[in-house]
Amino acid sequence: MRSLLPPEYIVRIDQDRCRRCGRCVRNCGFGALSFEHSFWHRAKELFQGSTEDLQKVIAHVEEYVPDRVVADNRKCVQCHYCVTHCPEGAINIEPNPLAYKANHYWLPHYQKNIVKQAESGGMILTGSGNDKPYFSYFDHLVLDACQVTNPSIDPLREPMELRTYLGSRPKALEIEQDSDGEPVLKTKLTPQVKLEIPIVFAAMSYGAISLNAQKALAMAAKECGVLMNTGEGGMHRDLYPYADHIIGQVASGRFGVNPEYLERAAMLEIKIGQGAKPGIGGHLPGEKVDEEVSRTRMIPVGSDALSPAPHHDIYSIEDLAQLISALKEATAYTKPVGVKIAAVHNVAAIASGIARAGADVIYIDGFRGGTGATPMIIRDHVGIPIELALAAVDDRLRQEGIRNQVSLIAAGGIRHSGDVAKAIALGADAVAIGTAALIAMGCHVCQQCFSGNCSWGIATQRPELTRHLNPEEAGQRLANLLRGWALELKEILGSLGINAIESLRGSRLRLRGVGLSEQDLEILGVKPAGR
Amino acid sequence: MLLREGEVRIPSGCAVSAILNVKGRCINGEAITQSIACMRERSNGLGGGFAAYGIYPEFKDHYAFHLLCETEQGRLDAEELLRQNFLIDRSEPIPTRKVIGIENPPAVWRYFARVRPEKAVGCSSTAEGNLVTSVVMKINKHCDRAYVASSGKNMGVFKGVGFPEDIAAFYRLEEYEGYLWTAHGRFPTNTPGWWGGAHPLGLLDWSVVHNGEISSYGANKRYLEMFRYRLELQTDTEVVAYLFDLLHRRHDLPLELVCRVLAAPFWKDIDRMPEPQRRLYTALRQVYGSALLNGPFSIIVAHGKGLIGLNDRIKLRPLVYARKGDFVLMGSEESALRRIFGEPDEVRAVWGGEPVIVELEGGSAQ
């Protein structure tokens, strides 16, 4: 059916500056750019088989003027790969200024989606996280600082500690004395995983993202002493050297899960849900399942990889407890087992159940969390903000006296180190970053991850595109980002007059709300600014 | 209306001082008063107080409850709560005198009490301690304007609003003989005007004087709340006292390690420790990270058998240690220690994070 949708963007090419090098044409994953009347096309047209034609072709070669680059605006997704890489700076992309008749209710976004569905009869897919103008609680929380009565601490002159351990902790330690009367530890702690910065990379599977992108994440995780997460796509052999810095995910599809996989990872994570698509499964189309993905996921080449919405062996909290204990048995209790859930209405009770089911870490993903592919209607309308979910979970676990049993990872829309500090003050042990990590690698949040056409070589398996991403360089960018955030966190701690991150954890007195309702403040456990 | 302490958090600066005779020999309250008076400019007249140990030899096996009561009804309610759980063998007003500079004192009262036999569950000292703690918390929370200043055996806390030397005169401390004295002069940044808000803070045999503002207060508070402590006063001292109570009395950590939790060594130092020390210190921080006291403080914790001095781990507040014969002295300033017995045999600054633990010779007072 002919599409009635106007293009979203207009690609402007400055033909005076363009040297017709063709880089943009080759690089666009979406095929939005091409040469008009290509040289060979014209030559083929001229040559019908006669000698005369041959002369015309020769004349054409002699007269050849390189062709113009033209854009099919309909195909452009505004990913900026061509703009960023054009050596002449000759490309610009603008939103289509086409004005819809003003209407505060039937916004163009909704009208376009209706047209799309009227044409396709399908669900509208999207990638990345919820981009709708919901209220951001992070943006209405501010941090404290010391003045006079308690001094701030200068991170350039004093040690500033960000080290964080993930794992379950007993309520108390038992100490005994050795033969010299020196105290020694009697309690045997369950496994703890060390983070030098309280940040981990969010789960992004091989399949959803390229191997180069995963390698970059793994390299940065190793360099910075943090963790990356395989997602549900198994662990490619190229990641084995980084396995000490990798969380191995066990999701509903169980792709790539075998004893060696469990053995290798530094920590395991059972994925129940994801902030961008709570209660929704996953679907990696067969076209993306090439030789390597097939081997890593342990499925035939070209077959669709379907992750069921629930785990087919988890229909209750006791089933989850069984899987947690099965994974611990399988790995001889050598690594923490976490559970990842989406932030939904009843998240506090669910998290409490998960803690009691034996999880060592609970990963809560808020509704701004990203994804490789999800129905837009789910991404934009299901789930709750991470700030509220985190505060509710931390409160509940403390009320029940079991906060020490689990570490909390908060995720879903962490944009900068300020968000990290606020999440920790609300009660998180660490945060996870997905979208921020992708942006560090080049992503411009065009939200087309599901298409497999990512020009940046991140969310694609097409070999001509994945080579756009240099794992070493992308890894360095990620490491730089973490380093920058770590420096900022140290400044924040210093201004708060503390020199260890655990002194901020759950310290909601160091937060104040600006412009929040009484109810919001109560849920967040935060006072209004001025009080 | 100006909120009083407990309804609002009031940062303070302070002076602290302590004297212990390690042989358990008792001296009267004059020395400690001189010492704290020497640091008058570190207080502003809005709080002063003393803890004294060994002062009630005739009631040494009784819990001595010191109460500050602003209303008679509050005192009666508190007394009723005490009676439900304890046999009160003596109840009397604490002797005081009129002093210029001490205005509107509340009724100060003391009770010497034993746990009712039927309440002595299992007879363990922990169970008894928990009972005392819960009664103290109930009085502080529910009895109108009544506040338990101390609840230990053979000890008492004397505190109020005023300069510490005036408080000493008010309570006639020169008439008491103790082997261990601590003192506190307060410089709050607000005017609480409430006697319960003064220091030392006492719970069971423990008393704490503290100079500083703990920047990790929120984290520590929420940690303690998980163990059912109610932080009624919103003061750092309360946090310190409860952390000692939790870690030492309830979790049975040795005092040295309690200090190593409150002022934890840095990871860089822990990483360099030999095994099994490294394993121990790593576990302490992993498990008790939320009990780390972060921010400037010097604290002196007294208990029946000794004294602990501790500075924050980067030494943002002063704390000096001195020894003269059988006496161990600690305080905010060296001058305050020299004031007592003249030139000490030994005097030095306490290192950041270094626990100075002094115990009575033979383990208890003579």
- Of A335, A395, A343, A387, residue with least CA distance to A361: A335
Statement: B12-359 belongs to CATH 3.40.50.850:
no
Closest Cα in chain A, distance from residue B265 (Å)? 11
Which residue of B lies nearest to A508 if distances are taken between CA atoms? B218
Residues 157-216 of chain B with CB under 8 A from chain A are 189, 212-216
Q: Is the pLDDT of residue B190 over 60?
A: no
The band of B366, judged by pLDDT with boundaries at 50, 70 and 90, is very low
Q: Six-digit token pair at A171? A: 């309520």
Domain boundaries, chain B: 12-359
The band of B45, judged by pLDDT with boundaries at 50, 70 and 90, is confident
Residues B149 and B204 sit within 8 Å (Cβ to Cβ): no
Task: Quote the mean pLDDT of chain B.
Answer: 90
CB–CB of B266 and A161 under 8 A?
A: yes
CA distances from A521 to A364, A387, A515, A516, A518 (A): 20, 11, 10, 6, 5
B130: Cβ contacts below 8 Å, ≥ 6 apart = none
Of A150, A169, A504, nearest to B219 by CB-CB distance is: A504
CB atoms within 10 A of CB A119: 13
- Of B84, B91, B39, residue with least CA distance to B65: B91
Which residue of B lies nearest to A189 if distances are taken between CA atoms? B283
Q: How far apart are CA B10 and CA A520, in angstroms?
A: 26
Closest Cα in chain B, distance from residue A183 (Å)? 8
- Of A243, A302, A242, A303, residue with least CA distance to A268: A243
- What ipTM score was computed for the predicted complex, to two decimals? 0.90
* pLDDT at res. B43: 83
Per-residue HEC secondary structure of A180-219 comes to CCCEEECCCCCCCEEECCCEEEEECCECCECHHHHHHHHH
| Interface membership of A495 toward B (CB under 8 Å) | no
Among B14, B26, B38, B143, the one annotated catalytic: B14
Q: For chain B, what is the largest distance between any 2 Cα atoms, rounded to a whole number of angstroms?
A: 60
Of B218, B252, B276, nearest to A509 by CB-CB distance is: B218
Instruction: Output the CA torsion sign for A101, A104, A108, A111.
Output: negative
* DSSP 8-state symbol, A399: H
Q: Is the pLDDT of residue B189 over 70?
A: no
User: B337-348 pLDDT, tens per residue?
Assistant: 998 888 999 999
* pLDDT at res. B188: 74
| Interface membership of B264 toward A (CB under 8 Å) | yes
* pLDDT at res. B200: 92
Set of chain B residues whose Cβ sits within 8 Å of the Cβ of A183 = 254, 256-257, 280
Best B222, B259, B279 residue to mutate vs chain A (most A CBs within 10 Å): B222
How far apart, in Å, do the first and last CA atoms of chain B sit?
Answer: 50
Set of chain B residues whose Cβ sits within 8 Å of the Cβ of A404 = 226, 287
Helix (H, G, I), strand (E, B) or coil at B194: coil
How many residues are there in chain A? 531
CB–CB of B254 and A183 under 8 A?
A: yes
Set of chain A residues whose Cβ sits within 8 Å of the Cβ of B227 = 401
Low-confidence ranges of chain A (pLDDT < 50): none
| Interface membership of A509 toward B (CB under 8 Å) | yes
The band of B9, judged by pLDDT with boundaries at 50, 70 and 90, is low
Antiparallel, parallel or unpaired: β B201-203 and B206-212: antiparallel
User: B317-361 pLDDT, tens per residue?
Assistant: 999 999 999 999 999 999 989 988 889 999 999 999 999 999 998
B259 given a catalytic annotation: no
Q: Is the pLDDT of residue B295 over 80?
A: yes
CB atoms within 10 A of CB A440: 22
Q: How far apart are CA B159 and CA B198, in angstroms?
A: 6
User: B99-110 pLDDT, tens per residue?
Assistant: 998 888 999 999
* pLDDT at res. A378: 96
- Of A445, A442, A413, A408, residue with least CA distance to A424: A408
Give me the phi and psi of A276, to 5 degrees please.
-75, -20
* pLDDT at res. B3: 56
All domains of chain A, ordered by start, with CATH? 9-96 (3.30.70.20), 201-500 (3.20.20.70)
CB–CB of B286 and A183 under 8 A?
A: no
Of B219, B289, B295, nearest to A150 by CB-CB distance is: B295
Least confident of A30-34, A254-258, B45-49, B233-237: B233-237
CB atoms within 10 A of CB A319: 15
CB–CB of A175 and B254 under 8 A?
A: yes
